[in-house]
Amino acid sequence: MAKKSRTPTPPRKVQAPQRRVESRKQPRTAEERRTLYWAIAFAASGIAAIAIVVLIFTVLGGGGRSGIDQSKLVGLQTGPAPWNAGVDHLPDRLKAAGLNPLGAEGEVVHIHQHMDIFVNGKHVKIPTGVGIYDGQFLTELHTHDSTGLLHVESPKKRTFNLGQFFAAWGVRLDNDCIGGYCKPQTPWKIYVDGQEYTGDPGELELQKHQQLTIVIGTPPKTIRSNYRFPPGT
């Protein structure tokens, strides 16, 4: 009788040897510590430099606060009040102020504000004819009398700000100064409807029926919170 052949045992799987990885427990050498220190210091100095550049552009406005380069406002009045209508160099300021010479009052945007200005408690009038050039043209921002009524009249839908009105007027206005009154020597504040406005004064958007009050030095006894606008304004 023939002897049965025996089925061979399958080969045993052999596991590949594993490489032992030991965590580094040895302290860094003095040279490694110095290298790490200088790497961190260099990175920190780079971050600080970027922060300083950002701060400079924020403070200086990168070409003028409120989008207006004060150095390009020809004939800017930087002395004490009262200030004249500033029409002598009005055409030279239009481009920098973002305003246009118009042959007639615009009707697409037609709103009004009232503004009071006080210097050491004394009311200062805003002159007639701000933004109006010798009957030849007028800008979107102008005055027709000395009551403090501001006219915003544009043939195109857009917004305007207080910085543009002062540019049309030819009176300095930035975060530090109004005309010749500069902080901290002379404190001043701006109020909108009786509430203090703490933002960039030039960026204050002109809206319908605002009561704007600028208080320079000693404040008056009362600050308006509203104004009775003439019918139709």
What are the tens digits of pLDDT across the range 93-105? 999 999 999 999 9
The answer to whether the beta carbons of residues 202 and 174 sit under 8 Å apart is yes
Phi, psi dihedral angles at 177 (to 5 degrees): -130, 145
Q: Is 86 left (phi over 0), alpha (psi -120 to 50) or beta?
A: left
3-state secondary structure 41-102: HHHHHHHHHHHHHHHHHHHHCCCCHHHCCHHHCCCCECCCCCCCCCCCCHHHHHHHHCCCCE
Q: Are residues 55 and 80 in the same domain?
A: no
pLDDT value at position 50? 43
Q: Considering the domain boundaries, does residue 232 fall inside one?
A: no
Co-location of 101 and 117 in the same domain: yes
Strand residues in the chain grouped as ranges (E): 109-119, 122-124, 132-133, 137-138, 141-142, 149-154, 177-178, 181-182, 188-192, 195-197, 211-216
- pLDDT tens-digit map of 117-168: 999 999 999 999 999 998 899 999 999 999 999 999 999 999 999 999 999 9
Could you tell me the pLDDT band of residue 219, with boundaries at 50, 70 and 90? very high
Domain boundary among 15, 41, 60: 60
Two structure tokens written together for 16: 């590949």
What is the chain's mean pLDDT, rounded? 84
Same domain, 95 and 204: yes
Residues with Cβ within 8 Å of 147's Cβ and at least 6 positions away in sequence, in order, are 114
Q: What is the mean pLDDT of residues 55-60?
A: 38
User: Whole domain around residue 37: which residue ranges?
Assistant: 30-60
Say if residue 156 is in the same domain as residue 184: yes
Instruction: For residues 99 and 202, state if they share a domain.
Output: yes
Q: Identify the top-confidence range among 5-14, 43-52, 189-198.
A: 189-198
Number of domains forming the structure of the chain: 2
How far apart, in whole angstroms, are the C-alpha atoms of residue 66 and residue 73? 13
The verdict on 76 and 121 lying in the same domain is: yes
Same domain, 48 and 158: no
Given this model, what pLDDT does residue 28 score? Answer: 63
Q: What is the pLDDT of residue 135?
A: 85
Which of 18, 45, 60 corresponds to the end of one domain? 60
Do 54 and 76 belong to one domain?
no
Is the pLDDT higher at 12 or at 177? 177
- What pLDDT sits at residue 64? 36
Backbone angles phi, psi at 118, to 5 degrees: -125, 135
Q: Is 230 inside any structural domain?
A: no
Same domain assignment for residues 106 and 147: yes
Per-residue confidence (pLDDT) for residue 91, from 0 to 100: 98
Residues 117, 179: Cα–Cα separation, whole Å: 12
Whether residues 102 and 130 fall in one domain: yes
Distance, CA of 190 to CA of 58 (rounded, Å): 21
Residues 50 and 149 in one domain: no
Give the span between the Cα atoms of 112 and 92, in whole angstroms. 25
Q: Mark whether 211 and 155 lie in a shared domain.
A: yes
CA distances for 137 relative to 144, 152, 156, 197, 226, angstroms: 13, 15, 17, 32, 31
Would you say the pTM of this structure is higher than 0.95?
A: no
Q: Has residue 142 been placed in a domain?
A: yes
The reported pLDDT for the residue numbered 61 is 36
